[in-house]
Amino acid sequence: MTSPRLPRPRSAGHRDPGDGASGAPRRVMPPPMTPPGSEVTQLYGPEFAADPYGTYERLRHYGALAPVEIAPGVGAMLVTDYRAALDLLHDPETWSKDSRTWMKSAPEDSPVLPMLAWRPNLFFSDGEAHGRYRSAVTDGFERIPAHELRTAVVEFADSLIAKFGEKGEADLMAEYARVLPLMLFNRLFGLPDSYSEQLITALAGVWEGRTAEEASAAGAAFEGYIGELMAAKKQARGEDLTSWFMDHPAGLTDEEVMHQTVITMGAGHEPTANLIANALARMLTDDRYYSTLSGGALTPLDAIHDVLRNEPPIANYSAHFPKRDVYFHGTWIRRGQLVMVSYAAANTQHGRTGPGRSGGASGSGGGSHLAWAAGPHSCPVQQPATLIATTAIERLTAWLSDIELTVRHDELTYRNGPFHRALTCLPARFTPISPDQPGATPWESRESRPLEERRTPATPAR
Report CA-CA distances (Å) from 400 to 150, 179, 272.
19, 18, 21
How far apart CA 267 and CA 262 sit, in angstroms, is 8
Q: For residue 13, what are the contacts with CB-CB under 8 A and spacing of at least 6?
A: 64, 83, 84, 329, 330
Which residues, numbered 29-88, are part of the site for ligand HEM (CB under 6 A)? none
Spacing of C-alpha 389 from chain mean position: 12
Q: Which is nearer to ligand HEM, 174 or 373 (CB)?
A: 373
DSSP tag of 367: -
Q: How far is the CB of 202 from ligand HEM (least distance, A)?
A: 16
Q: How far is the CB of 146 from ligand HEM (least distance, A)?
A: 13
Ramachandran class of 354: left when φ > 0, alpha when ψ lies in -120 to 50, beta otherwise: beta
- Looking only at the bridges linking them, the beta strands covering 360-361 and 74-79 are unpaired
Phi, psi dihedral angles at 437 (to 5 degrees) = -90, 130
Among 314, 338, 339, 400, binds ligand HEM (CB under 6 A): 314
Segment interacting with ligand HEM, rule: CB under 6 A, options 381-389, 409-417, 419-427, 439-447: 381-389
DSSP tag of 131: H
Q: How far is the CB of 402 from ligand HEM (least distance, A)?
A: 27
Residue 122 binds to ligand HEM (criterion: CB under 6 A): yes
Residue 379 binds to ligand HEM (criterion: CB under 6 A): yes
Q: How far is the CB of 321 from ligand HEM (least distance, A)?
A: 12
Q: Which is nearer to ligand HEM, 377 or 415 (CB)?
A: 377
Phi, psi dihedral angles at 66 (to 5 degrees) = -140, 145
Among 318, 337, 362, 364, binds ligand HEM (CB under 6 A): 318
Beta bridge partners of 322: 95
Q: How far is the CB of 388 from ligand HEM (least distance, A)?
A: 6
Q: Which is nearer to ligand HEM, 93 or 287 (CB)?
A: 93
Residue 267 binds to ligand HEM (criterion: CB under 6 A): yes
Number of residues engaging ligand HEM in binding (CB under 6 A): 28
Q: Which is nearer to ligand HEM, 152 or 298 (CB)?
A: 152
Which residues, numbered 270-309, are part of the site for ligand HEM (CB under 6 A)? 271-272, 275, 308
Residue 252 binds to ligand HEM (criterion: CB under 6 A): no
Residue 244 binds to ligand HEM (criterion: CB under 6 A): no
Q: Which residues of 289-328 are buried (b: 16+ CB within 10 A; e: fewer)?
A: bbebbeeeebbbebbbbbbbbbbbbbbbbbbbbbbeebbb
The residue nearest ligand HEM at its CB is 268
How far apart CA 227 and CA 187 sit, in angstroms, is 16
Report CA-CA distances (Å) from 140 to 100, 135, 211.
28, 8, 35
Residue 384 binds to ligand HEM (criterion: CB under 6 A): yes
Segment interacting with ligand HEM, rule: CB under 6 A, options 78-86, 101-109, 265-273, 394-402: 265-273
Q: Are 150 and 387 in contact (CB under 8 A)?
A: yes
Residue 380 binds to ligand HEM (criterion: CB under 6 A): yes
Residue 113 binds to ligand HEM (criterion: CB under 6 A): no
| Residue closest to 141 by CA, chosen among 379, 408, 349 | 379
Residues forming contacts to ligand HEM in the complex (CB under 6 A) are: 122-123, 134, 137, 263-264, 267-268, 271-272, 275, 308, 312-314, 317-319, 371-373, 377, 379-381, 384-385, 388
